[in-house]
A and B are shown apart, each in its own frame.
Chain A
Amino acid sequence: MAQVSLRKLVKAYEGNVQAVKGIDLEIADHEFVVLVGPSGCGKSTTLRMIAGLEEITGGDVAIGGTVVNDIPPRDRDIAMVFQNYALYPHMSVFENMAFGLTLRKFPKDEIKRRVDNAARILDIVPLLERKPKALSGGQRQRVAMGRAIVRDPKVFLFDEPLSNLDAKLRVQMRTEIKKVHQTVRTTTVYVTHDQVEAMTLADRVVVMNHGVIEQVGPPQELYHHPATRFVAGFIGSPAMNFIPGRLEGDAHGLRLVLGSGVILPVPPERTARYAPHAARPVLLGIRPEHLTDKKPTDKRNIADFPATPEVIEPMGMETLVHFRIDGHEISARLDPACPVAVGEPITLAADMDQMHIIDPETDKVL
């Protein structure tokens, strides 16, 4: 068990491509941290530097307080689960899981005890004698996790372990991974580009973009208090709506004026916060789930939001409605019982307590 620290971590590939541009991150003992971000943002590179598979260009990686920059992967006491499993095809499931222990010269009965134990946790006891070829994708994934668990390492590293599985199995394995972590409590760094995985698994989520960290925080905090426009748009599905507008103030408070004459009052608690930006162009960020049909509520800061649906997507538990303001696509999540029709204007309710105002120049959430 150990904490992991990344200090000013830099990775430059030849041709001076900076894949990781100076990352600082402290991961506590037992913590489950998820690195998430769009493709090419440097997640895998960061993980591979922790593993020792990628040379470190600048900065430090420390595991359990020791700087490991110059220590080869086999001496870092880590275990890694790869996207395509990387099981040894010529070894049985048992041998695959035992390999790391065999190399470390563990006694035979200790190896057997550990493999059996991991196999029980992962529910793969009947598969131990099989070769990887004779396993399904989900079973291979379990074996790959088993190989990590038996080692009882300081840190688990996962690189998109679920992206080769079909949607249903992915949800199932996600729960499985969470369960395993609750059992073994090993410090974990998990890379994914799927923000749902990030939200459901993580103690803390690290959102990366273009080789830098945009924001670090618990899933709920990232959802409710994104720091930048990128995080606001990346976390949550369907993604947050961004609508350009102006903040206008008078003696009674601030109003947000969108194009085509939609006027939304800013909640009085937030007036002070936004006052310096009055009379300047801003970006309204509001999630589809906070733009709904009107229903009786005791919330105070609900504003009318006129819309003319262009596309209606009934999902069963909700109905997604897409419309435009000034050419900007906006989506809203409505109760399926709410009557809507394409082209028929309706009035939606915008929950102004849940909206964000973004400075379009700095892309920071105000």
Chain B
Amino acid sequence: MPADTLTAGRTPATHAPGSGSLQRFARRRSTIAFLMTLPLLAVIVGLVAYPAGYGIYLSTLNRTMVRNIGFGNYEILFDTDTFWSVAWQSCIFAITAVLLKALIGFWLAHMLHHIPAKGQRKWRGMLLVPWVIPPALSTLGWWWMFDPTYSSINYVLSIFAVPAVPWLGEPIWARIAVIMVNVWYGAPFFMIMYLAAIKSVPEQLYEAAAIDGANGWQRLRYVTLPMMANIISITVLFSLIVTFANYDIVRVLTNGGPRDLTHVFASYAFQVGILSGNIPRGAAVSLFMLPILAVCAFFVLRGVTRRNKEQM
């Protein structure tokens, strides 16, 4: 087809004017490209742009959704302590969880890469299990294990004479528990991405580095990590967005409690919007995530583009 469009672009001079220009327009490469992406654009507009626009519109309405109050919902939110604690908790939750997931994922990938190929598949499969179980279900399992009196975690601790921990009852432990479950669920994704990235580093670079005088740690620092920089920043960005918007784990494990101290934006938006019936304010809560994530995305993607231009 490219050849087709190319010749079509060159020959129109010989066509009769009038009918030619429309035909030419229809056969231009960019027109065809646009037409071919149309189905996808329709899906994006229908499932992303329209709900986003509608969300913004909703957030400007009053509780009964009959009057437009502009930024009124935001002003009220800025004045509530709970909102600020949710904002904090969301940031702490997302950043800690993503960092831990990335570190553990990298460590697992590194370990996996260095075990012989035969055992590797088995281990890889087993380590991926947390990621393929529906999180609502596995979180329920964790909830049961966190139970202060009857369950496994405190039982194991009691064997080592550690006093029972009120996992979901005390704010600090509840926050740790939420992060733990999120890390448990999300680390395999990092592992599989990093494993693919590690495997794509040419073996000869390590050999060259070994001869250049690098020890194991230096090879990791000067060869593996720089070669993986792109995949690391993209996975971290992606995971930051998903973790920031996490809903199910908080909802199932703590439901935001104790005292709303483990709420993140998504679960808080649900609580305000659906459970308390103030849909416009719930919309305002969830929209608050947008600028934070947009700034992250901008910087990360800029780094990726720059590196791509230089290296690939």
Q: Does A262 contact B (CB under 8 A)?
A: no
Decide if B211 touches A90 in the complex (CB within 8 Å).
Answer: no
Residues of A contacting B75 with CB < 8 Å? none
- Chain A CB count within 10 A is highest, among B205, B212, B213, B223, for B212
Are A72 and B210 also in contact (CB < 8 A) when A82-B204, A86-B204, A88-B205 are? yes
What chain B residues lie within 8 Å of A133 (beta carbons)?
310-312
Q: Contact between A79 and B211 (Cβ–Cβ < 8 Å)?
A: yes
Assess the B226–A78 pair: CB atoms within 8 A.
no
Given contacts A88-B205, A90-B227, whether A131 and B210 have CB atoms under 8 Å apart is no
- 1/0 per residue, CB under 8 A from A, across B228-268: the answer is 01000000000000000000000000000000000000000
Are the C-beta atoms of A82 and B207 separated by less than 8 Å? yes
Residues of B within 8 A of A90 (CB): 226-227, 229, 307, 310-311
In chain A between 261 and 280, which residues have their CB closer than 8 angstroms to a CB of chain B? none
Q: In whole angstroms, what is the CA distance A80 to B209 when docked?
A: 10
* Cβ contact within 8 Å between A74 and B213: yes
Q: Is A107 in the interface zone, CB < 8 Å from B?
A: no
Tell me how far the C-beta of A329 lies from the nearest C-beta in chain B, rounded to whole angstroms. Answer: 40
Judged by a CB distance under 8 angstroms, whether B215 is at the interface is yes
Number of residue pairs spanning A and B whose beta carbons lie under 8 angstroms apart: 68
Mask of B183-213 contacts with A, CB within 8 angstroms, 1/0:
0000000000000000000101101111111
Q: Give the size of the chain A interface in residues (CB under 8 angstroms).
A: 25
Most buried by B among A79, A91, A103, A133: A103
Which B-chain residue is minimally distant from A81 (CB atoms)? B208
Q: Judging by beta carbons under 8 Å apart, are B211 and A103 in contact?
A: no
Rounded to whole Å, the gap between the CB of B274 and the closest CB of chain A is 48
Q: Could you tell me which residues of chain B, from 275 to 312, have a CB within 8 Å of some CB in chain A? A: 307, 310-312
* Least Cβ–Cβ distance between A97 and chain B, in angstroms: 10
Q: Judge whether B311 and A147 touch: CB under 8 Å.
A: no
Q: Does B218 contact A (CB under 8 A)?
A: yes
Residues of A within 8 A of B209 (CB): 88, 99
Write out the residue numbers on chain A whose beta carbons fall within 8 Å of the beta carbon of B218: 103
- Residue ID in chain B nearest A105 by CB atoms: B213
Chain B CB within 8 A of A84 CB: yes
Residue in B208, B214, B229 whose CB lies within 8 Å of A82: B208
Chain B residues with Cβ under 8 A from A89's Cβ?
Answer: 227, 311-312
Interface string of B213-227 (1 = CB under 8 A from A): 111001000110011
Closest to A151 in B: B212
Q: Does A252 contact B (CB under 8 A)?
A: no
Inter-chain contacts of B211 with A (CB < 8 A): 51-53, 73-74, 78-80, 100
B25 vs chain A, min Cβ distance (A): 38
Report how far A87 CA is from B213 CA in the complex, Å. 15
Which chain A residue lies CB-closest to B202? A86
Closest residue of chain A to B218 (Cβ to Cβ) is A103
Asked whether, in the complex, the Cβ of B311 is within 8 Å of the Cβ of A80, the reply is no
Most buried by A among B205, B211, B212, B213: B211
Contacting residues, chain A, for B222 (C-beta < 8 A): 88, 99
Mark interface residues in A41-55 (1 if CB within 8 Å of B CB, else 0): 000000000011100
Tell me which of B202, B210, B215, B226 has the highest count of chain A C-beta atoms within 10 A of its own C-beta.
Answer: B210
B207 x A74 contact (CB < 8 A): no
Q: Is the CB of A74 within 8 A of B311?
A: no
Whole-angstrom distance between the Cβ of A132 and the nearest chain B Cβ: 8
Name the interface residues of A209-258: CB closer than 8 Å to any CB of B: none
Most interface-central of B227, B229, B311 (chain A CB within 10 A): B311
A332-B227 Cα distance, complex, nearest whole Å: 54
Residue of A nearest to B205 (CB): A86
Whether A80 contacts B310 in the complex (CB less than 8 A), given A86-B202, A100-B213, comes out as no
Q: Is B208 in contact with A86, judged by CB distance below 8 angstroms? A: yes
Give the CA-CA distance A147 to B204 in the complex, in Å: 14
| Inter-chain contact A103/B210, CB cutoff 8 Å | no
> Which of chain B's residues have a CB closer than 8 A to the CB of A52?
210-211
Would A104 and B226 be within 8 Å (CB), given that A86-B202, A133-B312 are in contact?
no
Q: How far is the CB of B98 from chain A (nearest CB, A)?
A: 24
Residue of A nearest to B227 (CB): A90
A103, B227: Cβ atoms closer than 8 Å: no
Q: Which residues of B contact A73 (CB under 8 A)?
A: 207, 210-211
Residue in B214, B226, B307 whose CB lies within 8 Å of A74: B214
Contacting residues of chain A (128-148) with chain B, CB-CB under 8 angstroms: 131, 133, 147
CA distance A104 to B223 in the complex (A): 16
User: How many Å lie between the Cα of A73 and that of B216 in the bound state?
Assistant: 12
**Cα(A86)–Cα(B226), bound, Å:** 15
A86–B204 alpha-carbon span in the complex (Å): 6
* A88 pairs with B223, CB closer than 8 A: yes
- Bound CA–CA A131/B309 (angstroms): 10
Complex contacts, A80 vs chain B, CB 8 Å: 207-208, 211
A265 shortest CB reach to chain B, Å: 56
Counting chain B CB atoms within 10 Å of each CB, the highest count among A78, A89, A91 belongs to A89
Q: List the A side residues contacting B204 at CB < 8 Å.
A: 82, 84, 86
CB distance from B255 to the nearest CB of A (A): 46
Q: Is the CB of B210 within 8 A of A74?
A: yes
Closest chain B residue, CB of each to CB of A92? B310
Least CB distance from B211 to A in Å reads 5
**A53 and B311: CB pair below 8 A?**
no
Q: Is the CB of A104 within 8 A of B213?
A: yes
New A-B pairs, 13, CB < 8 Å, besides A52-B210, A80-B211: A51-B207, A73-B211, A74-B210, A82-B208, A84-B204, A86-B202, A88-B205, A88-B208, A88-B223, A89-B227, A99-B212, A103-B218, A131-B311
Residues of B whose CB lies within 8 Å of any CB of A are: 202, 204-205, 207-215, 218, 222-223, 226-227, 229, 307, 310-312
Residues in A lying within 8 Å of B, measured CB to CB: 51-53, 72-74, 78-80, 82, 84, 86-91, 99-100, 103-104, 131, 133, 147, 151
Going nearest first, the 8 A-B pairs with the smallest beta carbon separation are A100-B212, A86-B204, A86-B208, A90-B226, A74-B213, A103-B213, A89-B311, A73-B210
Could you list 16 examples of A-B contacts with CB < 8 Å? A51-B207, A52-B210, A52-B211, A53-B207, A78-B211, A80-B211, A82-B204, A84-B202, A86-B208, A89-B311, A100-B212, A103-B212, A104-B213, A131-B311, A133-B311, A151-B212
